[in-house]
Structure 1
Amino acid sequence: MLLSVLQEKEAGGFVVIQDTASYSGRQLLKYYINCAIKSEEIVHVLGFEVPEQEIRKGLDRNYVHLFHFHNAYSDPLGWTKQSSFRVKHFTTPHIIQLVNKTQNAKATILVIDSLSWVLRHHNPAVICQELQKLKRAEGSIRMTFGLLHKDLHQQGIVGSICHLASTVISVAPLDIVDSAVAKTTQRKKSGKVMQEDNFFSIKDDLILSIQNKPSQSGHVKADLDTNEGDPASNLTFNLRLSEAEREAKEKVALPFVFSQEKKSALLRPSQSSGQIMYEPDASDDFDEEDPDDDLDV
């Protein structure tokens, strides 16, 4: 699934690559840029975090004429008015105008590097609205890629962005050098959801290699952190039962559960019948004609 992201046939696709400080997803983003231009698709990059030279590094030189970088790195907030693109320009009409300047019959690929930078300097609700509009601009934009540093935002903001995406790729490092794991979730317009985990590595020439599942020592670091946080691991008493203790527990009769013998004794009909006898004494002052005589009514 990781290799077939660009082959998505449904127009208006939105792909989010989630990363953290422990592993950057930019190399995977550059891999998709390189695959797109080698397929002779025009790619427009809105660059906020790194300069153009870093994005171009590793791209196939035979197809770089299909690569267009809109510089928002030099002056993203417009303080010196040196950048061709700024945060305030992140609107659907402005982006479509940039894309349409390229003479191309096919819809193009839009890359946002990164969504985190835009979200930190813009209203997240407005960004979600603009992303939704870009998904509908099928005549100009075939697919949108966005890099999202999920450890920089609140969980609700990350969830809102991922809810808009047709494909979410979460990358995390492995203990093995230069290897990582990507968890891909793909949602079709029909409502079908597919998930897949891939272990991969990307070389400097942007060649992606899918690897076999690593050995027990190559766990994802996030899983290791989860195991270390087990609340029952450092207790002075044991919360778990051995097999012998579990068997002994199952043999103990609960106080509110009747045995078969006790049930039979309670349900067995009695041979003799009981009768309550009452003999009033002198202080009862009982009047048969007026039983309520002692009441103050």
Structure 2
Amino acid sequence: MLTELLQGIEAGGFLVIQDSCSYSGRHLLKSFINAALNRAEVVHVLGFDVSEEELKDGLRTSDTQRLHIHSAYTDPLGWTERPAFTVHQFRLEDLTDLVKQTPHPKPATLIIDSLSWILRHVTPPAVCKTLHQLRKGGAVRAVIGLLHADMHQRGTVGSVCHLATSLIAVAPGAKGDEAVAKITKRSKFRKVMQDEEIFSLNGDFTVTIHSKRSNPEQNWNDAEEEQVDPTAELTFNLRLSDSELEAKKKLMLPFVFSKEKLATLSQPAFLK
């Protein structure tokens, strides 16, 4: 499924790469940037965590007309007079204006490196609102964000990941050059597919899949979980047999009138 996601994210899609201090997801994020450039897509990158030089390292920087990096690394809070980009511009209106400054006929793919920096200075509800608005389309076709899960409370991580159409949680693998990707993909019909893949990244940020373990497709709303039957060890029976169910159906409740009684009550003598 990782290879499938690298081949393209559907319009309105929101992909979250969730990492931690034990394994960085930035190189995988660069894989998605290069993959988008290979498909001749326009890519806008919001850079907070690392410098522009470090972010460009290994990317297809020759595609200068389609790769646009808006670095907020040197002045993320806008303390100088003319900052290139600040965290306070993470709003739909400002992001739309930023993307439209470069004349391209097709909507762009927006890369956020990282969502964690934004969440440190903007409230989670405001961040989620902007992400939800970006998913509706317009100047941005799809959004890919890096999220450092161990920097936030579980509720904050859950709120952001709940908006995602695809989630890739990365962790170190058994070998030094391998990593584990736990992937969750939600379809438009509220179906969920899950994969666990062992992969490695090559020098050009292409991905090699070594093995994977797939789970069957599940319904996000109606997925059944194994549960212990609370009635298994009761000394009396809470369930009815077929004959008892049939007798229950024939039982006349005291507040329900039969046809004969309704006919009697509708006689003129009762209507006076």
Range class of TM-score, shorter chain = 0.7 to 0.9
Specify the alignment match of 2:220 in structure 1.
none
Superposed, 1:261-276 pairs within 5 Å as none
The alignment covers a number of residue pairs equal to 214
Amino acid at match of 2:121: H
Give CA deviations for 1:123-182 in whole Å, capped at 9, x if unaligned: 11111111111111x231111001000000000000000000000000000130111010
Specify the alignment match of 1:295 in structure 2.
none
Whole-angstrom distance in 1 between the partners of 2:74 and 2:160: 26
Give the structure with higher Rg (CA): 1
Query: Is 7-16 or 126-135 further displaced after alignment?
Result: 7-16
- SS of 2:138's partner is coil
Specify the alignment match of 1:143 in structure 2.
142
Specify the alignment match of 1:56 in structure 2.
56
Q: 2:19 matched to 1:19?
A: yes
Using a 3 Å threshold, how does the CA distance of structure 1 residues 204 and 81 change in structure 2: closer, same or farther? farther
Specify the alignment match of 1:72 in structure 2.
72
1:207 Cα deviation from its structure 2 partner:
1.8
Contact 1:186 1:195 in 2 (8 A): yes
1:9 Cα deviation from its structure 2 partner:
6.1
Name structure 1 gaps, 5 residues minimum: 215-255, 257-297
Contact 2:49 2:113 in 1 (8 A): yes
Contact 1:37 1:64 in 2 (8 A): no
Q: 2:50 matched to 1:46?
A: no
Q: 2:96 matched to 1:96?
A: yes
Give CA deviations for 1:167-214 in whole Å, capped at 9, x if unaligned: 000000013011101011000111111111111111232121111369
Whole-angstrom distance in 1 between the partners of 2:83 and 2:36: 25
- SS of 2:141's partner is strand
Scaled by the length of structure 2, the TM-score of the pair is 0.75
Superposed, 1:158-173 pairs within 5 Å as 158-173=157-172
Superposed, 1:237-248 pairs within 5 Å as none
Give CA deviations for 1:221-261 in whole Å, capped at 9, x if unaligned: xxxxxxxxxxxxxxxxxxxxxxxxxxxxxxxxxxx9xxxxx
Amino acid at match of 1:59: L
Using a 3 Å threshold, how does the CA distance of structure 1 residues 9 and 29 change in structure 2: closer, same or farther? closer
Whole-angstrom distance in 2 between the partners of 1:113 and 1:52: 11
Contact 1:71 1:83 in 2 (8 A): no
Query: Is 78-87 or 89-98 further displaced after alignment?
Result: 78-87
Name structure 2 gaps, 5 residues minimum: 214-234, 236-272
Contact 1:184 1:195 in 2 (8 A): yes
Whole-angstrom distance in 1 between the partners of 2:5 and 2:159: 21
Whole-angstrom distance in 1 between the partners of 2:210 and 2:83: 41
Contact 1:173 1:179 in 2 (8 A): yes
RMSD: 1.7
Using a 3 Å threshold, how does the CA distance of structure 1 residues 7 and 87 change in structure 2: closer, same or farther? same
Percent pairwise identity = 49
Contact 1:73 1:83 in 2 (8 A): no
Specify the alignment match of 2:247 in structure 1.
none
Specify the alignment match of 1:187 in structure 2.
186
Scaled by the length of structure 1, the TM-score of the pair is 0.69
Specify the alignment match of 1:284 in structure 2.
none
- SS of 1:212's partner is strand
- SS of 1:209's partner is strand
Contact 1:75 1:82 in 2 (8 A): no
1:6 Cα deviation from its structure 2 partner:
4.5
Using a 3 Å threshold, how does the CA distance of structure 1 residues 3 and 124 change in structure 2: closer, same or farther? same
Specify the alignment match of 1:221 in structure 2.
none
Amino acid at match of 1:51: S
Q: 2:147 matched to 1:132?
A: no
Whole-angstrom distance in 1 between the partners of 2:174 and 2:9: 35
